[in-house]
Amino acid sequence: MRPPVPIAEYLDRLTSELRFDPRLSRRVRREIEDHLLDAVADSTGTNPEDAARQAVARFGDPRLIARQYAPASLLQQTRRLGGVMILAIAAILVLMKGRVALYDFLQWRLNPEWLGGLGAIAPAIDRHMFQMSLVFGVLGWVYIASRRAPSTINSEYQHQLERCLLSSATASGLLIGAVVLDTILGGMRIFHAGMSLAAVIPLLSIVIEIGLVGAIAIELRKMVRRKALISSSFSDRNASS
């Protein structure tokens, strides 16, 4: 059953203010709706619409409620991004190691003359790029895991989040470079060995790697947009202006 109009409008406003975290928005909406409906039910001898307006008035401004949730939500989402990145890097590492082992088993060797003579050092470049992406990913995750959410979105907190996002962006960029180079080298091995059923496994693993990198890029973009939205709406500077 749809709640009284004042409560429905209030919940819609609250949902809009909490749009930076859809999961949190749904949970808080359900909890507050239950509280408001209970308050209306406990109001005997009062018109339901009037009781709903009174309950809404006592609950407070939806923007202020959302502002209380914003710091912890932003920290949790940033930590989740770091965890997803670490898991994706670990998965890509397993795929790369497995593919190299398969290449060795099939004796699909790299020609040093490939890539204009860079074929000899390309694997080392690929390996170092991947290792650096892992370092930046771990550093970013460890850093944000050690932070604590303040009561408000202050400048120091924003700088902490920016450092983590910068580390994650660097890790993502290096990982993309490593996957692209590895894809090129793998494609050359397969092309020179000749297409066969044996090529299905490395090709599939490359497709999975590309999908994982794309997922990381999408999550990072979402996180940057969420931070910008929360900072523009709930930071101390904007709250005092």
Q: Where are the alpha helices (DSSP H) in the chain?
A: 5-17, 22-42, 48-59, 62-106, 122-145, 155-193, 200-234, 236-240
Per the listing, tokens 């523009």 go with 232
What pLDDT, on the 0 to 100 scale, is given for residue 237?
A: 58
Q: Take residue 165 and report the two structure tokens written for it.
A: 């996002």
What pLDDT, on the 0 to 100 scale, is given for residue 59?
A: 87
What pLDDT, on the 0 to 100 scale, is given for residue 104?
A: 86
Measured between alpha carbons, how far is residue 109 from residues 100, 184, 188 in Å?
A: 10, 14, 10
What pLDDT, on the 0 to 100 scale, is given for residue 241?
A: 46
What pLDDT, on the 0 to 100 scale, is given for residue 173?
A: 93
Positions in the chain whose pLDDT score sits under 70:
1, 45, 112, 114-119, 236-241
3-class SS of residue 235: strand
Q: For residue 5, give every residue at least 6 positions away whose Cβ sits within 8 Å of its Cβ, in sequence order, or none.
A: 49, 52
What pLDDT, on the 0 to 100 scale, is given for residue 103?
A: 86
Task: Classify residue 34 by burial, with Cβ atoms within 10 Å: 0-12, 13-18, 19+.
Answer: exposed
